[in-house]
Each structure stands twice: as structure tokens, then as C-alpha cells.
């Protein structure tokens, strides 16, 4: 086992040349481990939900755990966006073969993730009750789960920033290996704490944190042991101002977009909470199911981000256009196949989480509007990746704020709230339909923006080639 792990950490080359060869196949090859990794990350929360819903004596435990996800995303997305900046900057530098700057980006990113993680850990632990109260959730179980979860935030952020570095150079396999190990640990500890020690939401939260610590240690050891240009030396951790600015320039708008996007989801979760625990439980179960479709599609977003970044650094303008077209084709296929299949199997899948017919009814309503047409959001996500890969992060931020957050918030206040009494679950149709509407509008605007920005980048690269000639 030690010998095999050493090979994983150091000896084998995992980088990928994203600038030549069959890009369509390479994007698929890049995306598949990422999709599996996303599924494993979701299994952290899914395992929590399944264990507390099937083995806990607390009937409200499922809703208590599930209702915290939108709040967690809201608080961490702003800073997690900086890891997107790390990915874009590293990919561009790797394509340009600028090894010296890559080293500075790596050490800056890891130190920033550690500092931000510690801040979020303290913030989330102290203000957990207040944040949940703002969402119409005064559950003590939710507050306990949230507090423990936030204690693991430094490990969570460090892992994600380190994984973004590996993605930038084409390595999506080792992060998958590490999450497989930590995912297995998480499931085992869930059962151990809940069945063995009769713990509740606190047990599954502790299991999640421990598994995050394991994945964090493994990926940091990987960066420290590698002999490649992205090698990490813990003694050389330092914030380089120029590199920090380049990361922030791309990452901060991405983080703001993610946070504001999460605000609309928090508002929807707040509306769901007003219906009571039956709706909360059904909504949480359906949200967990559709999350698997999302992370599989989101792997194509990361492929678009990294492939566009490397080809921009290598000044291969024709490849940039191919990456955009291929990413849209791949994500549409994934969204239709998985979204449609999960919807058709909705009742069976929901019954894994809950046996309550009323809760299953709620879950099916959500899956109809979010899971079946989910490929539409995949298109939005991919266009954001393509635009950020080109170095344009402010544009997709503004478009997403107006197209998704703005319209959805207006819909909640002026359409949904004006036409519901929060007593009839059929009113949820009016709430959930806001999702596909905003996806269609936002994708259309993103596509128009991409056409203009790509032409601008193409002219700039052409002019640079003419100067060199």
C-alpha cells in the first residue's frame, strides 16, 4: 500500500497537453475523473442524509442536515471563487511554459486558502444560529451540524485550491484517488458514530470533517513530493502581490457571482422552509439527487476553463473555438442522459432518502423542474468556464447576477410570494419554474458575450503574431 501510494504521489506523470491532438477525446478524458470526483464529494452530504434519515431516531434530522447546504454554499463561494482564479492563471502559465510564475501562484494560493479557511471556520462557528435564523430555520440540529462542518473549512479550502492547481496542468486523476479514500472513510465513520455511539447530526458532521482532513493531507503531500513546476515547499509559503492580483482579477468576480447566485438559492430555501419539515425533507432529498447531475455536468465547466486557459497561453486561437463547441456538445449529452434518467427513476431514488409519500411528492415536483431540463444549466455553466478561461470573469459575473439572481429574486418576491399561502405543496410548481426560465435567459446572453470577447481575443493574438514576425 505504501509503495502504491508513493507511485500515486510522485513517480507517474499526470499532466495533460491540452493544446494538441484530439481535443474532444482529451476533454472527455479530463472530465471523467472530475465527474467521479464531484460525485464523491456529493456523497459526503448524501451519506450524511442517508444515515440520519435511515438510522437516526430524530425524524427531522434529514431536513436539518439538508437545509444547511445553500447556506454553506453562500458563505464559502466568495472565497472558493479565488480557486477559479488559481486554475485560470496556472493553466495559462502552463500553456506558456512560464515555470517561475507558476511556482509563485502555487505558494500564494495555498497560503491564501489556509488564511481564508481559518477565517470562515471562526465566522461560521460563531454566527451559525444567526445565519440560519435569517433563513427561517431555528433548528438546533441544523445549527449543530453547521458549527461542526465549519470547523473543517480550512481543510476544505486548502484541498480545493490544491486541486485547482492540479486541474490546471491536466491532472484530474490523483484528486479522484484521494476523494475515493476520504469518501470511504466518511461513510464508515457516519455509520460508526450514528450506530455505534447513537449520535445524530453531530456524528455525521464529525465524519465529514475527518474525511476532509484526510483528503487535504493527501493532496498537500502530493504537491510537496512532485518534481514538476508546481512543486510546493511549505517553508516558502508567501503571498506574491502580482500573482495574487492576477488570481483575484479572475477569482473575485467568480466568487461574487457564486455568492450572489447562492443568495437566490438561500431565498428559495427560505421559501421552502416556510412550508414546514415535510416539504423541507422532500426538497432536501430531491436536491441531493439532482446534485449528482450537476457535478457531472460541472466537470465539463472545469474542462472548458483549463483547456481554454492553456490554449490562450499557447496562443492557439483555433483550439479555443473548438473547446467552446466541444464543451457545449459534451455537457448537453451529459445533461440529457443523466437528468432524464434521474427524473424517470425519481420515485425510486427519492424512496432511498424517505418513505413518506408526501415528501416523495414534493421531491418529484422539484425534479420535474430542475432535473429534467438540467442540461440548460449545464450550457450556462460551460459558457462561464469558456469566458473565464479567456480571462473575462467580470462579464459572466454581471450576466449571472442579472440573468439568474436578479430574475429569480424578482420572481420570488413579485410572483411566488404574491400567489402562495405556504400551505399547499402544489404552489411549489410556481417556485421551481423560476429555475429553467433563468437558465434560458442567462445562456443566451452568455453566448452573445462570448462571440464578442472571442473576436477581441483573436484580434489580439493575431496582432501579437504579426509583431513577432
Give residue-wise pLDDT tens across range 10-58. 545 677 788 888 999 999 988 888 888 777 777 666 666 677 666 556 6
Among the residue ranges 74-88, 156-170, 377-391, the one predicted with the least confidence is 74-88
Q: At what angle do helices 153-168 and 277-313 cross, to 10 degrees?
A: 40
Helix or strand (DSSP H, E) at 429: helix 428-432
Instruction: At 56, list the grid cell.
Output: 437516526
Positive or negative torsion for Cα 101, 107, 109, 112: negative
Identify whether 323 is part of a domain: yes
CA distance 301 to 19: 17
CB 408 within 8 A of CB 264: yes
Identify whether 469 is part of a domain: no
Transcribe 95-107 into DSSP letters.
HHT-HHHHHHHHH
The SS3 assignment for 347 reads helix
CA distance 160 to 179: 11
CA distance 121 to 153: 5
CA distance 353 to 47: 10
Identify whether 350 is part of a domain: yes
Identify whether 7 is part of a domain: no
CA distance 254 to 87: 12
Q: How confident is the model at residue 275 (pLDDT cuts 50, 70, 90)?
A: confident
Residues 6+ apart with CB under 8 A from 413: none
Burial of 144 (0-12, 13-18, 19+ CB in 10 A): middle
Between these two residues, 265 and 365, which has the higher pLDDT value?
A: 365
Determine if the pTM surpasses 0.75.
yes
Q: Which of 400, 401, 398, 334 has the alpha carbon at shortest distance from 371?
A: 334
pLDDT, tens digit (0-9, with 9 covering 90-100), for 279-334: 888 888 888 888 889 889 988 998 998 899 889 888 888 899 999 999 999 999 99
Is the model's pLDDT at 221 over the cut of 90? Answer: yes
Identify whether 73 is part of a domain: yes
pLDDT, tens digit (0-9, with 9 covering 90-100), for 106-150: 999 999 999 999 998 998 888 888 877 776 666 677 788 888 888
Q: Which domain holds residue 395?
A: 18-462
Q: For residue 314, what is the DSSP state? A: T
Alpha carbon distance, N-terminus to C-terminus of the chain: 54
Identify whether 37 is part of a domain: yes
How many separate domains does the chain show?
A: 1
Which pLDDT score is estimated for 57? 60
Identify whether 3 is part of a domain: no
Q: Which of 277, 209, 172 has the alpha carbon at shortest distance from 45?
A: 209
CA distance 405 to 267: 10
CA distance 336 to 88: 28
Identify whether 2 is part of a domain: no
The SS3 assignment for 383 reads helix
Amino acid at each position: 500500500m505504501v509503495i502504491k501510494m508513493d507511485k500515486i504521489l510522485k513517480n507517474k506523470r499526470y499532466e495533460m497537453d491540452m493544446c494538441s491532438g484530439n481535443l474532444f477525446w482529451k476533454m472527455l478524458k479530463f472530465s471523467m475523473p472530475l465527474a467521479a470526483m464531484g460525485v464523491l464529494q456529493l456523497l459526503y452530504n448524501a451519506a450524511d442524509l442517508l444515515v440520519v434519515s435511515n438510522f437516526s431516531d430524530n425524524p427531522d434530522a434529514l431536513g436539518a442536515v439538508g437545509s444547511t447546504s445553500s447556506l454553506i454554499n453562500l458563505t464559502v463561494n466568495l472565497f472558493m471563487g479565488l480557486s477559479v482564479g488559481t486554475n485560470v492563471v496556472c493553466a495559462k502559465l502552463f500553456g506558456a511554459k512560464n515555470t517561475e510564475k507558476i511556482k509563485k501562484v502555487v505558494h500564494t494560493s495555498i497560503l491564501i486558502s489556509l488564511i481564508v479557511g481559518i477565517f470562515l471556520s471562526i465566522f461560521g462557528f460563531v454566527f451559525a444560529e444567526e445565519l440560519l435564523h435569517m433563513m427561517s430555520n431555528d433548528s438546533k440540529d441544523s445549527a449543530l451540524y453547521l458549527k461542526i462542518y465549519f470547523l473543517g473549512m480550512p481543510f476544505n479550502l486548502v484541498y480545493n485550491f490544491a486541486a485547482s492547481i492540479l486541474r490546471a496542468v491536466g491532472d484530474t486523476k490523483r484528486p479522484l484517488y484521494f476523494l475515493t479514500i476520504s469518501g470511504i472513510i466518511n461513510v464508515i465513520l457516519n455509520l460508526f458514530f450514528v450506530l455505534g455511539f447513537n449520535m445524530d447530526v453531530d456524528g455525521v458532521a464529525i465524519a465529514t470533517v475527518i474525511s476532509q482532513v484526510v483528503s487535504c493531507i493527501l493532496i498537500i503531500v502530493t504537491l510537496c513530493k512532485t518534481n514538476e513546476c508546481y512543486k510546493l515547499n511549505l517553508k516558502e509559503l508567501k503571498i506574491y502581490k502580482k500573482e495574487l492580483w492576477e488570481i483575484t482579477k479572475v477569482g473575485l468576480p467568480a466568487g461574487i457571482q457564486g455568492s450572489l447566485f447562492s443568495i437566490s438559492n438561500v431565498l428559495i430555501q427560505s421559501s421552502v422552509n416556510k412550508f414546514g419539515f415535510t416539504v423541507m425533507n422532500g426538497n432536501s432529498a430531491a436536491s441531493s439527487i439532482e446534485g449528482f447531475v450537476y457535478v457531472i455536468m460541472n466537470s465539463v465547466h472545469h474542462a472548458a476553463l483549463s483547456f481554454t486557459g492553456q490554449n490562450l497561453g499557447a496562443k492557439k486561437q483555433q483550439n479555443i473555438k473548438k473547446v467552446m463547441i466541444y464543451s457545449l456538445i459534451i455537457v448537453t449529452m451529459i445533461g440529457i442522459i443523466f437528468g432524464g434518467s434521474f427524473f424517470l427513476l425519481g420515485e425510486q431514488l427519492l424512496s432511498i432518502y424517505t418513505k413518506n409519500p408526501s415528501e416523495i411528492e414534493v421531491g418529484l415536483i422539484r425534479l420535474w423542474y430542475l432535473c429534467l431540463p438540467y442540461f440548460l444549466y449545464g450550457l450556462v455553466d460551460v459558457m462561464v468556464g469558456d469566458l473565464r478561461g479567456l480571462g473575462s470573469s467580470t462579464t459572466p459575473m454581471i450576466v449571472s447576477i442579472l440573468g439568474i439572481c436578479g430574475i429569480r429574486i424578482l420572481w420570488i418576491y413579485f410572483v411566488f410570494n404574491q400567489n402562495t399561502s405556504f400551505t399547499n405543496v402544489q404552489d411549489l410548481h410556481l417556485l421551481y419554474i423560476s429555475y429553467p426560465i433563468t437558465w434560458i435567459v442567462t445562456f443566451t446572453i452568455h453566448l452573445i458575450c462570448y462571440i464578442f470577447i472571442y473576436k477581441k481575443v483573436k484580434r489580439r493574438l493575431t496582432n501579437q503574431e504579426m509583431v513577432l514576425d
